[in-house]
Amino acid sequence: MKGKFTISLVSEDRPGIVANVSAAVFELEGNILGLSQTVVEGYFTIILVGEFPGTVTSEGIRKTIEKSGGTGEYSVIVRDYKKPRLPADLEKDATEYVLTATGPDNKGIIHHISRTLSGRGINILDIAVYKEKDQVMIVAQVLVPHSVDLFCLKDELAALGMSQKLSVHLQHINIFKETNRI
């Protein structure tokens, strides 16, 4: 019998954290099933889902990962994996898009964009915010239900952008990938 866990970690960034975390999982004979990692303002964060032998506990995982860093370096949360409670038809009745917003940084931009999206039942799958001096760039991968009128959504996002002095665009994920291919 195997156990599945979600693991998240926050730490000041430095080289070697992914190596330490993955070594701790390997030491416990675990397998990483999915992983996402980023650095925000000098702070490293990672979330992963791992599968472990049935004898491994969440507390054992937490202690082993914490030991892999310096004393008190890692803040680790380990939970038993539970299948997310998103509506079963969310992905099959929706299409992925990429939303980009660029312009001057203002307080509340992320709130205004996320509130607009959630008000239409749009799920944010991934979001990143990049700042340089007084400018901001937001890139979000979103899941738009087929029931949403795209023309109305784009108009609403454009109006929001104008009110915040931002350029806001929504593109189908495939178009975004093709036009941003390296």
pLDDT in tens, 92-129: 788 999 999 999 998 999 999 999 999 999 999 999 99
Output the pLDDT for position 86: 64
Output the pLDDT for position 136: 94
Output the pLDDT for position 174: 80
Local confidence band at 17 (pLDDT 50, 70, 90 cut-offs): very high
DSSP string, the chain: -EEEEEEEEEEE--TTHHHHHHHHHHHTT-EEEEEEEEEETTEEEEEEEEEEETT--HHHHHHHHHHTSSTTT-EEEEEE-----S-TTTTTTEEEEEEEEEEE--TTHHHHHHHHHHHTTPEEEEEEEEEETTEEEEEEEEEEETTS-HHHHHHHHHHHHHHHT-EEEEEEHHHHHHHT--
Describe the crossing of helices 17-27 and 58-67 by its angle, rounded to 10 degrees. 140
CATH 3.30.70.260 range(s) for the chain read 2-80, 94-179
For the chain, give the mean pLDDT.
92
Q: pLDDT tens, 41-85?
A: 999 999 999 999 999 999 999 999 999 999 999 999 999 999 887
Output the pLDDT for position 85: 72
Mean predicted confidence (pLDDT) in 167-179: 85
Output the pLDDT for position 21: 97
Say how far apart CA 32 and CA 128 lie, in whole Å.
Answer: 23
Phi, psi of 64 (to 5 degrees): -65, -40
Architecture of domain 94-179: 2-Layer Sandwich (3.30)
Does the model's pTM come out above 0.75?
yes
State both tokens at 59: 């507390």
Output the pLDDT for position 92: 72
Output the pLDDT for position 73: 97
Output the pLDDT for position 177: 74
**180, pLDDT greater than 80:** no
Cβ–Cβ < 8 Å for 142, 99: yes
Architecture of domain 2-80: 2-Layer Sandwich (3.30)
**31, pLDDT greater than 90:** yes
